[in-house]
Structure 1
């Protein structure tokens, strides 16, 4: 009797969408993931903004001239003097602080030491390597806290709430401002200008490139000529011209000007992709069904360009950060006292030859390099991830 043999079950491979393989290739690219991690960290710092700064004054601009040009890691004793009611600003609240910082509620004075004498506070001056020491000061206890009271209670209040030991982990600049706070707040400016520039360049580039590639003919020739003219102008010169035309050198002007110089890259890529896709079968089918041109372009052609556009957007993000830093270094971008990294490099450059100049140049320059490198690594990783020939292992 012959034994019946059942057919072996065949394991059918489950079909996976293309996005699955893109994610797998990207996740296995270690340099790209390291770059993405640093970008996410900078984004969190930019979003938290003033909430995480040691100095949460507007633009982190609370400068103490006695503490100018100090090296990283030094500590100072700060005496906080109460402001008169007429000069005291109202608290902005949590959301107000996130958007624009908190106006200081005290006048701060660095001191070298202090002692109490009857109803007065005697302070010794803070000794700085670059500033002449002032004479010691005598403050009445009521003047320090801003209200009268019993001397013993006032002394306890001063020691608990008006004397602070502050550590400047990355030192101070030439105006006595906390370098760490300005570096952290500078991520908001750099990422903000990169985001706005990329959005403007992608929207404008997709619009012009899609029309040029799909319509063709004299429209394509005209728009291609416009791209060539803009392409031939150095980006920094174009930003300067736009800033002069808008008669402004503020933060938002820099955002818009940088974005208007970067759309040509996107337009050229979209035009090339459109020329190759417009003859595909699914496009011909759409024409036969009577779909309008704008729907064919926005619903069927542009979604097929997602990969190249994402890769180009990361590259433009890094280029926008470098361009803004260069403009701010030259004094043509973000204006003081806003904490732009390029402006901070310029301030350190003016002090080169001193210990403070070394740190003030190195720290913002290092952060700019790391952020630009991270975007480039992520862009290379996305390029490989969207390439079907890249192996998964």
Structure 2
């Protein structure tokens, strides 16, 4: 009887992937993160309102509930103030400034030779109140059309717009701003993680490998930065840079989160620098920089990936808190924290509930997804976790 064949040799990464794939909460979190990433990458291409910062608001439609629907007549802007139509890439990066002035109207209208007479939409008209007076809107395209076609031309021009998540206090589409806010939240998380990982790895590796007075000095620096509240540090950095824009928030949040990475790298470096392969490298005369970057740091991949996911979630929460306080991303940028603040100011009204709940739910779901993924990665990189 032939002995059973040994299982094929697998690299460690294979078992990490298998453990992660068999963790349903982690895969659920990863799926939501991938979905948000696709939304952030598509950006203005997929928004109902693709104006810059999704800021094309109609004040008459402010604080409308989810599912609200209205007829809108787009009136072309005069050539003197009409913006140019942007290309595909420019529209993806910064949106398209409105080419028309949108006029919410009642469903009925009448057409003349060169104008259309409409009744402006009034959302809160008391019972028994008189209907609003008709307003004439000149449409140049009507003059060139035969009389029998003018009604059809206007009907085709009128759009039946639905606000699936309602509108905010400025009459802006809440769905568009919520989707566009994904780009800011993921962007600030990515920049913050990159800055914190690069800076933390450099400082932690030098402190742990060199040791001595260098370690004491850098450890003291970590302790001082660790003792300062993150929000206060971001305020100080914003004041030093004399700016409160989007990119300032990105950099400021990243510069407050490197201490966690540095402490982990320093601890790992202290335990690895006495290993046999490091002694062999020293005997061979390898420079310290090569030992650190080519041989020691790659052995910390697992802990660093887990820490990066938790820092991603922390950066999103920190940015939301700063924007809520008015210290982060500034209006009209659609930051989720800023949207929560706008809804919070309307609490007590009918619109305040969903204007606060929707961006708050988005923040919670994205942070929860990163935490679930981080827990799954921690278990996946633990060799004691069973594959089943």
TM-score (norm 1): 0.95
1:129 corresponds to 2:124? yes
- Of residues 108, 119, 125, the one that matches 1:114 is 108
**Alignment match, 1:155:** 151
Residues 197/215 of structure 1: CA separation in 2 closer, same or farther (3 Å cut): same
Q: What SS is found at the alignment partner of 1:366?
A: helix
1:216 is matched with which residue?
A: 211
**5+ residue gaps in structure 2?**
none
Given the alignment, which residue of 248, 264, 269 partners 1:269? 264
Distance in 2 (alpha carbons) for counterparts of 1:65 and 1:357: 16
Partner deviation per Cα, 1:41-63 (whole Å, 9 max, x = no partner): 00000000001100001100000
Question: Contact conserved, 1:83 with 1:146, CA < 8 A, in 2?
Answer: no
Could you give the per-residue CA deviations for residues 278-297 of structure 1, whole angstroms, max 9, x where no partner exists? 00000000000000000000
Match of 2:53 in 1: 59
Matched length: 384
CA contact (8 A) 2:339 2:355 kept: yes
- 1:1-393 equivalences in 2 (<5 Å): 8-119=2-113, 120-129=115-124, 135-142=133-140, 145=141, 148-160=144-156, 162-393=157-388
The offset of 1:90, in angstroms, is 1.4
Shift of 1:115: 1.9
Shift in CA distance, 126/298, structure 1 to aligned 2, threshold 3 Å: same
| Structure 1 residue 273, shift from structure 2 partner | 0.2
Partner SS, residue 5 of structure 2: coil
- Cα distance in 1 for partners of 2:223, 2:142 equals 66
Cα distance in 1 for residues equivalent to 2:148 and 2:326: 52
State the distance in 2 between where 1:199 and 1:243 align.
19
How much has 1:266 moved relative to structure 2?
A: 0.1
Q: Distance in 2 between matches of 1:234 and 1:344?
A: 24
Deviations 1:202-253 (A, max 9, x none): 0000000000000000000000000000000000110011001111000000
Is residue 63–residue 176 contact of structure 1 (8 Å, CA) maintained in 2? yes
User: Over residues 57-94 of structure 1, what are the superposed CA-to-partner deviations in whole Å (9 max), with x where a residue is unaligned?
Assistant: 11000000010000000100001001111222111111
CA gap 1:259/1:339 in 2 versus in 1, 3 angstroms: same
1:141·1:155 contact (CA, 8 Å) conserved in 2? no
Conservation of the 8 A alpha-carbon contact between 1:196 and 1:256: yes
How far, CA to CA, are the matches of 1:105 and 1:324 in structure 2?
33
TM-score, normalising length from structure 2?
A: 0.96
Q: Is the 8 A contact 1:32 1:380 kept in 2?
A: yes
Q: Which consecutive residues of structure 1, in runs of 5 or more, have no partner in the other structure? A: 1-6
Q: Distance in 2 between matches of 1:314 and 1:130?
A: 51
Structure 1 residues 134-163: Cα deviation after superposition (integer angstroms, max 9, x where no partner): 643112342xx4875444444332221x20
Distance 1:146 1:200 in 2: 57
1:112: Cα distance to partner? 1.6
**Residues 344 and 364 in structure 1, CA contact (< 8 A), matched pair in contact too:** yes
The secondary structure found in structure 2 opposite 1:305 is helix
